[in-house]
């Protein structure tokens, strides 16, 4: 079927107006139109979206109404990938296939138990479609499209990083653009000016490793296991952050000086490797390494780099709120230092609730609600993409209005 036909099939038959809109009966056509508009603006509840997230190593399904999470289930594969020291894409895809049906049943049961939600109450089905591991993404995309077709609901593809931005909408009812988002996940680190739903400008980014990736690599070289962020964070709390001075990665500009917002973490990782080798060489008898001090020094350097750049972006672009998204938003050092620095500069900082920092489907549903409310829908021909810039989100949608 051509793309357009699939798309119109997906939203033509869908009933995504509120029950009050559908059941109202009016005498004249013109009266009906006007009243419906007023009703949909004043009493229509926020849309309810069921979303699927399978971009990496978490199988997640959530049901969200506006910014209210009705259910959120995450089946983590971390224990499986830990054996290999990182995510094995083919294993991730197979695990998603095995977990998706149970995750869906649990998410539906939870929303039904807590809020009496059933299929009639769900306005749209969404799924992460980029960026991510393509095999893993395809499991969620296939599940979401199937649900959309079977239940006659509109379908929306969601950009994973936009989901991380929307995680903070789940903790703050009043949050609205413009603001700065510091996106710090396992695969991405960027400073994004948020101008509206789907309207993003990347002000700065890492030129090499992402912040989460640096945590994972440093944990591996210290034999701390996978994922590295939580374990380094825990150890850092008992270590001395000034024990080992480590270099903060900077990006030189051709005309001299440094890029004010772009960051680099691969040199820092190499510096930790050299430091560890030196400390091991000083302990030929295999004496214990000061792992907590190394972790604290490394974490403090990452945090300093992120905080400095986030504050610079916010003040230079006149953005009074900084929102943090992605797995590294769970980091205790980042939470503490960014709050302190923001307070000094008169800025507001919002972190997502801890359970919505790492991958989950509630944030994907929340982002989908925003696109749904703008009348945007995705084609059922939409595929998964391993890479897609956050500035290219508009290509995921067509207008249904």
Binding site for ligand KG4 (CB under 6 A): 56, 185-187, 212-213, 215-216, 227-230, 233, 326-328, 330-331, 358-359
Q: Are 240 and 293 in contact (CB under 8 A)?
A: yes
Cβ closer to ligand KG4: 182 or 328? 328
Closer of 95 and 359 to Zn ion (Cβ): 359
Segment interacting with Zn ion, rule: CB under 5 A, options 184-192, 279-287, 304-312, 386-394: 184-192
Our finding on whether 359 is near Zn ion (CB under 5 A) is yes
- Tokens representing residue 320 in the block: 């009074």
Considering CB distances under 5 to 8 angstroms, the limit depending on partner class, which of Zn ion, ligand KG4, none binds residue 330?
ligand KG4
The first and second tokens of residue 319, run together, are: 């953005």
Cβ proximity to ligand KG4, 56 vs 63, nearer residue: 56
Q: How far is the CB of 162 from Zn ion (least distance, A)?
A: 11
Report if residue 128 touches Zn ion, rule: CB under 5 A: no
User: 95 touches which of ligand KG4, Zn ion, none (CB within 5 to 8 A by kind)?
Assistant: none
Contact 351, 335 (CB under 8 A): yes
3-state secondary structure of 374: coil
Tokens of 339: 């709050």
Binding partner of residue 331 among ligand KG4, Zn ion, none, CB cut-off 5 to 8 Å per kind: ligand KG4
Q: How far apart are CA 393 and CA 380, in angstroms?
A: 16
In the complex with ligand KG4, which residue's Cβ is closer, 131 or 204?
A: 131
Residue 364: CB minimum distance to ligand KG4, A: 11
CA distance 64 to 391: 25
| 103 in contact with Zn ion (CB under 5 A) | no
Reduce the DSSP state of residue 7 to 3 states and report it.
Answer: helix
CA angle 364, 368, 373 (to 5 degrees): 155
Identify the H or E element spanning 194. strand 189-196
From the list ligand KG4, Zn ion, none, pick the one residue 241 interacts with, judged by a Cβ distance below 5 to 8 Å according to partner type: none
227 binds, among Zn ion, ligand KG4, none (CB under 5 to 8 A by kind): ligand KG4
Alpha-carbon torsion angle 135, 54, 164, 194, nearest 10: 50
When the beta carbons of 148 and 350 are compared against ligand KG4, the nearer one is: 350
- The torsion angle over the Cα atoms of residues 104, 110, 115 and 120, rounded to 10 degrees, is 20
The tokens describing 257, both together, are: 């000086």
Cα 356 to Cα 198: distance, rounded to the nearest angstrom: 20
293 is a contact residue toward Zn ion (CB under 5 A): no
Q: Binding of Zn ion at residue 185 (CB under 5 A)?
A: yes
- Least distance (Å) between residue 164 CB and Zn ion: 6
Residues 289 and 239 sit within 8 Å (Cβ to Cβ)? no
262 binds, among Zn ion, ligand KG4, none (CB under 5 to 8 A by kind): none
Q: Is the CB of 167 or the CB of 272 nearer to Zn ion?
A: 167
Which two three-digit tokens encode residue 329? 């938003």
Q: State the residues that interact with Zn ion by CB under 5 A.
A: 185, 359
């Amino acid at each position: 079927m051509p793309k357009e036909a699939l798309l119109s099939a997906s939203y033509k038959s869908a009933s995504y107006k509120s029950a009050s809109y559908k059941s109202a009966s009016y005498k004249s056509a013109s009266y009906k139109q006007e009243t419906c508009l007023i009703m949909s603006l004043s009493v229509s509840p926020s849309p309810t979206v069921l979303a699927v997230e399978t971009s990496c190593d978490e199988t997640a399904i959530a049901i969200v109404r506006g910014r209210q999470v009705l259910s959120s289930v995450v089946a983590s594969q971390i224990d499986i990938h830990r054996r290999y020291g990182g995510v094995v894409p083919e294993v991730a895809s197979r695990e998603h296939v095995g977990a998706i049906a149970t995750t869906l049943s649990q998410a539906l049961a939870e929303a039904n138990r807590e809020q009496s939600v059933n299929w009639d109450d769900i306005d749209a089905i969404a799924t992460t479609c980029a960026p991510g591991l393509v095999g893993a993404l395809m499991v969620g995309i296939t599940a979401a499209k199937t649900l959309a077709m079977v239940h006659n609901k509109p379908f929306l593809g969601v950009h994973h990083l936009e989901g991380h931005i929307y995680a903070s909408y789940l903790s703050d009812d009043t949050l609205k653009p413009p603001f700065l988002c510091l996106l710090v996940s396992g695969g991405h680190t960027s400073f994004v000016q948020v101008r509206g739903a789907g309207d993003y400008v990347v002000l700065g980014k890492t030129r090499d490793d992402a912040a989460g990736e640096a945590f994972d690599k440093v944990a591996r070289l210290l034999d701390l296991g996978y994922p590295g962020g939580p374990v380094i964070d825990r150890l850092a709390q008992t270590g001395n952050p000034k024990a080992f001075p480590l270099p903060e990665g900077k990006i030189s500009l051709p005309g001299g000086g440094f890029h004010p917002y772009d960051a680099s973490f691969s040199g820092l990782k190499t510096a930790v490797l050299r430091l560890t080798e030196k400390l091991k060489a000083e302990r030929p008898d295999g004496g214990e390494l000061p792992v907590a001090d190394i972790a604290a020094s490394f974490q403090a350097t990452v945090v300093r780099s992120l905080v400095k750049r986030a504050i610079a972006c916010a003040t230079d672009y006149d953005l009074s709120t900084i929102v943090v998204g992605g797995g590294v938003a769970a980091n205790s050092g980042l939470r503490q230092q960014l709050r302190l620095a923001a307070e000094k500069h008169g800025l507001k900082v919002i972190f997502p609730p801890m359970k919505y920092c790492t991958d989950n489907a509630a944030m994907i549903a929340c982002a989908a609600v925003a696109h749904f409310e703008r009348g945007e829908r995705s084609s059922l021909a939409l595929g998964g993409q391993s890479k897609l810039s956050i500035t290219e989100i508009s290509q995921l949608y067509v207008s249904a209005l």
